[in-house]
Amino acid sequence: MNEKEGIVPFKVKLRKEMLRGFQKTAIFIGLSYFVVLIFFLLLVQFRQLTEGRNTIIAYFDKIDLETDHIFENLQEHGALEFLDGTLEEREMFRQVYQETGSLPFRSALSIYQPDGTLLLSTRLPNRDGLSDDSYVKIAMKNITGQAEYRITKDYQGNRYLLKIKPLVNHQKTMGYLVLYIDGSDFEASVQADSTQYIIADSYENLFSSNSVKYVNQELKKVDEQLFSDLLSLRDGKLYLNNQYQLGNQLNLYSYISVVPISYLMVVTCLFVIFIMFILISLSGQLSRRIAIHSSDSIDVLVSDLEMIMSGYKSDLGVNTDDEFGYLAKKINGMIDTLQRLFFQTLKSEKEKVTFQRKLLEAQFHPHFLYNSLESIKILMHINPQKAEQMILSLNRVLRYSIASERENVQLERDMDIIDDYLTVNQIRFDLLDFQIQFPQELDQLLVPKLFLLPLIENSLKYGMEIRHDLKVRVDVSCDEQMISFLVMDNGPGFSAEFQERFADYVKEGRTEHGLVNSYSRLSMMYPSSKIRLCQDGEMHGVELRFERRQACYE
């Protein structure tokens, strides 16, 4: 029977679901392994990169501090005297060699006058020195405060880091100290282990590096874009990158190679295939055992449900002590509940039809239609144009009121019919004046059909009893929190007794009162609806309001 109806047997479906579940589990385990492995490798490599970078930074900071002390000592003991001619050149050389001798690399120091004249210069060991100091003279002009770094090279292409310090006395620049740091010696002194580094200035000029792989050999320039991302793929390898600013003119680019991706992919794929093979084999055996164990109860459930649907049984016959027996008991209870609900629904539907019929009949007072027809009969002889207008308005009102295609309508459409209704009454009563206002943003707001009409009928009924110059105002407004409907007139207002008992009328749902009827219909659509009696001068009326967040639009 199942095969004829196209039903997939439970045991087959269960086996497929379990196989898919184990396959997903295998893939998840493989991917998790891959992610964890990658994360672990990156964490280890990042630690190595950080340690190597910190070693370079610490070494540079140490050199920066030592050279600052050299500049301070020379400025305090001899440099200013040498510049003003009170200290001999021989003594100045002695002090310079004494101070720079403590540095762990080859270096040279020069002293310049403010106009760029070279007064003293030591030579680098085993070097011929810088044959052209024009770059130094240009750089000195742009340095006015603290010591700054610059990168240059000699005619042999050797790279040097210049540290230039203005000698200031009483806010006047007396000269400049220029220290030359050999790039090769600096590189040999750095112990960065597996971390590769490049030190360059803001113009990407190279000073020192333990790998020139990513340096332009002709221009000795560094491509900063290669190290802008934390992770980058270069030459088929994955690199961890870091960029750090040394001082105020130098940048340290450090990077380290991660394990090749191809190795990771091969190992991970083999691991995933192995896990999938194990899990799929186990899942096949397990799914068969579970399917055999549970299929009997499923077959009984399916068979009994088919008989219940055909009307031959009224309950399920599964009485096992497992989940299937529990499920059968719950289904039997649900069947009993559905039967009770079915009969209750039939009863409710009958009551609903009766209520809707009475509601439509009660939407307009029969006297309104009778009096309107009488007015048309009279106007046909004395004012045919008004009679025609009244017929058209009355026609729209009647058509709208008896149309049953929907209960909730757009506010704009409902207000148009209320306008026609009041227009008909205005033709009947010459002194009647009415005003309808509502914001354009609420045109498409859904409201119960003609729910304000009972309030307007009350205004006309009780207001016309004491005065003919009745004014009726229908005002719809809104703010960020609430939407309000206000119907007011200058009639006699509400009696003291009615005001005292008004809360009880609303609570009891006394729909014979028109205003409670309007409130009940609105609150069924918008549960946050509130109603209150209000007064503004000689105007009395009712306000209905609800929370704007509940508003429905078409």
Give the per-residue pLDDT at 356.
47
- HSE, CB side, 13 Å, CA atoms: give it for residue 277: 6
Give the per-residue pLDDT at 7.
55
Q: Shortest CA distance to 200 belongs to which of 186, 185, 220?
A: 220
Residue 434, SS3 per DSSP: strand
Give the per-residue pLDDT at 293.
59
Contact 486, 477 (CB under 8 A): yes
What single-letter DSSP state applies at residue 494?
-
Distance CA 129, CA 490 (A): 108
Q: What is the pTM of this model?
A: 0.46
Contacting residues for 102 by C-beta, under 8 A, at least 6 apart: 66, 70
CA distances from 170 to 80, 86, 167, 173, 174 (A): 12, 18, 10, 8, 9
Contact 417, 450 (CB under 8 A): yes
How many residues does the structure list for the chain? 554
Contact 217, 206 (CB under 8 A): no
Give the per-residue pLDDT at 529.
92
Neighbours of 329 (CB within 10 A): 14
Contact 186, 208 (CB under 8 A): yes
Two tokens at 306? 């088919």
* Average pLDDT for the chain: 78
Distance CA 451, CA 517 (A): 8
Contacting residues for 472 by C-beta, under 8 A, at least 6 apart: 422, 432, 433, 434, 435, 456, 459, 460, 463, 487, 488, 489
Two tokens at 2? 């199942």
Q: Which amino acid is at 196?
A: Q
Phi and psi for 310 in degrees, rounded to 5?
Answer: -85, -10
Two tokens at 257? 């190679």
Query: How many Å from the N-terminal Cα to the C-terminal Cα in the chain?
Result: 48
Contact 489, 471 (CB under 8 A): yes
- The set of long-range contacts for 50-53, using a CB threshold of 8 Å and a minimum separation of 24, is 50/242, 51/193, 51/195, 52/192, 52/193, 52/194, 52/195, 52/197, 52/254, 52/256, 53/195, 53/197, 53/242, 53/244, 53/252, 53/254
Neighbours of 371 (CB within 10 A): 14
**In tens digits, what is the pLDDT along the chain, a chain of 554 residues?**
444 455 556 566 666 776 676 667 767 776 777 677 777 777 877 888 888 888 888 888 888 888 888 888 888 888 888 888 888 888 888 888 888 877 877 778 888 888 888 888 887 544 454 556 778 888 888 887 788 888 887 777 778 888 888 888 888 888 888 888 887 777 777 776 678 888 888 778 888 887 767 776 666 677 777 777 888 777 777 788 888 888 777 888 888 877 665 666 677 677 767 776 776 677 667 666 665 655 566 667 677 777 777 767 777 776 766 666 777 778 877 877 877 777 776 565 545 534 544 554 455 556 667 667 777 777 777 778 877 887 887 788 888 777 766 778 999 999 998 898 898 888 888 889 999 999 999 999 999 888 898 888 888 888 888 888 999 999 999 999 999 999 999 988 888 888 888 888 788 765 556 678 788 888 888 989 999 999 988 899 999 999 999 989 88
Give the per-residue pLDDT at 353.
39
Distance CA 362, CA 451 (A): 12
CA 77 to centroid of chain Cα atoms: 64
Give the per-residue pLDDT at 287.
63
Residue 152, SS3 per DSSP: strand
Give the per-residue pLDDT at 405.
63
Q: Shortest CA distance to 542 belongs to which of 507, 513, 512, 509?
A: 513
Two tokens at 518? 């309007």
Contacting residues for 489 by C-beta, under 8 A, at least 6 apart: 459, 463, 470, 471, 472, 473, 539, 540, 541
